[in-house]
A and B are shown apart, each in its own frame.
Chain A
């Protein structure tokens, strides 16, 4: 089955700096890769996703890149703000089956 690895487990940055979180996956049939943000005491919320027919997608300060050959994808947050502090999870699934397999999460802290 699918296995998703995520790095780093913790990341501390200064406000205004960029943050990058990386994930690798094992199932070459996976073709949907969402990223979720989880704040303390809340459920995960989707922030951006990418499908295998594109290599990059951007939404304001957030971007995701996908390298299907290498089976890895990354989340990039630019101009970080304190409210970006949260745990971020990557995930992968086969489009048709929808079962998401999650990475182990990255705790991002943005210091003012």
Chain B
């Protein structure tokens, strides 16, 4: 079946604008994660959804960042009033419940100009 799907693959936006990044996890996966990867850097945890539990938002860098997951499937990461330091690749991943393998999408490359 299909892997984790993310859109858009590339997004250029002006500083101060809001952006939405979409993630469609692998069908049947109850866990969904967002990570951020700045150029040449490691993967920074942002937020984690697991089934109907309250999401773990401990990695969100500021209140400009938010994410939701509707119907236990598709997730949207929203960045309000974008800043240049928000430029990065935003990676989504999903896994089955219970600590199984985590699969990543190809990422959404965000550039704030």
Question: Which residues of A pack against B, CB within 8 Å?
Answer: 1, 6, 32, 34, 36, 41-46, 49, 89, 91, 93, 95-105
A96 touches B107 (CB 8 A): no
B42's closest neighbor in chain A, by CB? A104
The range of chain B's interface size is 20 to 34
B70 lies within 8 A of chain A by Cβ: no
Known contacts A98-B31, A99-B33: A46-B102 contact under CB 8 Å: yes
Whether A43 contacts B104 by the Cβ 8 Å rule is yes
Cβ 8 A contact of B101, one of A6, A49, A103 = A49
- Give the CA-CA distance A98 to B99 in the complex, in Å: 5
* B48 nearest CB across to chain A (Å): 5
Q: Tell whether, in the assembled complex, residue A98 and residue B104 are in contact, meaning their CB atoms are under 8 Å apart.
A: no
B105 on the A face (CB < 8 A): yes
Q: Which residue of B lies closest to A46 (CB)?
A: B101
Whether B12 sits at the interface, judged by CB under 8 Å, is: no
Q: Mark B63-106, 1 if CB is under 8 A from A, else 0.
A: 00000000000000000000000000001010100010111111
In the assembled complex, the Cα of A45 lies from the Cα of B4 at a distance in Å of 12
Contacts of A49 in B (CB 8 A): 101
With a CB–CB cut-off of 8 A, which chain A residues contact B43? 44, 89, 91, 100, 102
Closest to B48 in A: A99
User: Are B33 and A46 in contact, CB atoms less than 8 angstroms apart?
Assistant: no
Closest 5 A/B residue pairs (Cβ) = A43-B104, A104-B42, A102-B43, A95-B99, A43-B106
